[in-house]
Amino acid sequence: MRNLAVALLLFVLFELWPGFGLAQDEIKATELVPLEVDPAFSQEIPDPEHFRATVIKVDDAVSDQFGQSKAYQAVRLKLESGSGKGEYVDLEHGLLFELADEQKVTPGEQIVATKNYKIDGSVFWTITDKYRLNKAWWLVGIFVVLVIAVARFRGLMSLLGLVASFLILSIFIVPSIIAGRDPALVSLAGSIAIILISIYLSHGFNKQTTVAVVSTSLTLALAVAFSYLAVNWLGLSGVGSEDAYNLQIGLGAIDLKGLLLGGMIIGTLGVLDDITIGQTAIVAELYRANHKLSMGELVRRGLRVGQEHIASLVNTLVLAYAGASMAIFIFIAVSDLPIWVLLNSEFALEEITRALVGSSALILAVPITTWLAAQAVKKYDLGEPVHGHH
């Protein structure tokens, strides 16, 4: 049965993979009626080029614009990457926009410089952002060291599972959606692949982990059904966010409702493996402590512990969604519209639905996992306990 399930998953992944499987139209740009264009403006403008650069010199300057003084920074940069590495560039930072304090640069600071092209072929430079990746890598390093120092081998394996999850997202889920595949189906297939790879890598290949994998997959299937019903019942179209709107402009053929469902599926997966692994371990430990416990008693005791898990994780999950959507709360607070109009809007209901779908899946995972684990410990030796949570 397990081999059949893996074979079925591989078949689905193959069918959905861009460039393989069933014939399906790729996303194509909308055909437009050619317009008469002045030959002077018909030449193609090169795409902007981006460089990592170091600020060498900064002078505060003032420009007279329409009779008003405009403060800006006269900046000299040294390019540190790309074809212009080692070259120096002078630019006026903040001359064309209001320069906030956090946007100002200082000598020695690393920034992202952009080389822009005008229609007449001339070039102008802008400072796009501060360069932060050098510091971000330190945070990643600290995280990796902490995981390995505390969880040791299990921590290392969980990091490999995390890498595998990102690979599935980047080389399968995202390209398949861009290629025009059904986002919900792609996300479901990718999520199951993530479940199989990340949970087994993190917790080992044993029967106890298999129970958690089956429980996570079943609960995820219910979450998919619930999210599908909720999205269609509420009439959500997937255009509630600015990012989705921009995608629709750039990739007009993309299924935004399916993309919304896919996001809910992947978001739900993030909390499911934690509770299924933990609940399976609880039931297994209860049985190891007392082999005389009946099936019903195992389920009852497991559910009592699971209720505490639910109480803490539901709050954690909702707060996580709320933190990611803080802009919505601020918008509601400052808006002049009635609260019911704001809550009725698609952008608010999308976030509310995400939180409710994730929380509902988390709640369902406890009885499903507890019952499956109780069945398994009565019939099989689940072996060594699963160590730790995500």
In the chain, the amino acid numbered 257 is K
Region 162-170: mean pLDDT is 91
In which band, very low, low, confident or very high, does the pLDDT at 15 lie, cut at 50, 70 and 90? low
CA–CA separation, 127 vs 111, rounded Å?
7
pLDDT of residue 390: 47
pLDDT of residue 64: 77
User: pLDDT > 70: what percent of the chain?
Assistant: 82
Residue 353 pLDDT exceeds 70: yes
Q: Is 93 left (phi over 0), alpha (psi -120 to 50) or beta?
A: beta
User: pLDDT > 90: what percent of the chain?
Assistant: 28
Residue 34 pLDDT exceeds 50: no
Of 41 and 327, the structure prediction assigns the larger pLDDT to 327
Q: Which residues are CB-neighbours of 203 under 8 A, at least 6 positions away? A: 154, 157, 209, 212, 277, 386, 387, 388
CA–CA separation, 207 vs 212, rounded Å?
9
Region 172-184: mean pLDDT is 82
In which band, very low, low, confident or very high, does the pLDDT at 108 lie, cut at 50, 70 and 90? very high
Residue 35 pLDDT exceeds 60: no
- Range of weakest confidence among 45-54, 166-175, 338-347: 338-347
pLDDT of residue 76: 96
In which band, very low, low, confident or very high, does the pLDDT at 6 lie, cut at 50, 70 and 90? low
Residue 107 pLDDT exceeds 90: yes
Q: 3-state DSSP call for residue 122?
A: coil
Of all helices (H) and strands (E), which one includes residue 206? none
Which of 303, 24, 31 shows the shortest CA–CA distance to 177?
24
Segments of the chain assigned E as strands: 49-65, 68-79, 88-93, 110-117, 123-130
Residue 57 pLDDT exceeds 80: yes
Region 34-53: mean pLDDT is 70
Model confidence over 179-211: pLDDT tens digits?
Answer: 878 888 888 889 989 988 888 888 888 888 899
pLDDT of residue 33: 43
Residue 33: count of CB within 10 angstroms of its CB? 4
The CA radius of gyration of the chain, in Å to the nearest whole number, is 27
Q: Which residues are CB-neighbours of 360 under 8 A, at least 6 positions away? A: 223, 226
Model confidence over 294-311: pLDDT tens digits?
Answer: 888 889 999 988 888 787
Of 141 and 337, the structure prediction assigns the larger pLDDT to 141
Half-sphere exposure of 151 (CA within 13 A, CB side): 19
In the chain, the amino acid numbered 95 is L
pLDDT of residue 18: 62
Residue 136 pLDDT exceeds 60: yes
Highest mean pLDDT: which of 106-110, 197-201, 345-349?
106-110
In the chain, where the domains are located: 50-131, 134-379
DSSP string, 364-386: HHHHHHHHHHHHHHHHS---SPP
pLDDT of residue 180: 76
Model confidence over 285-294: pLDDT tens digits?
Answer: 888 888 888 8
pLDDT of residue 250: 58
Q: Which class in CATH covers the domain with range 50-131?
A: mainly beta
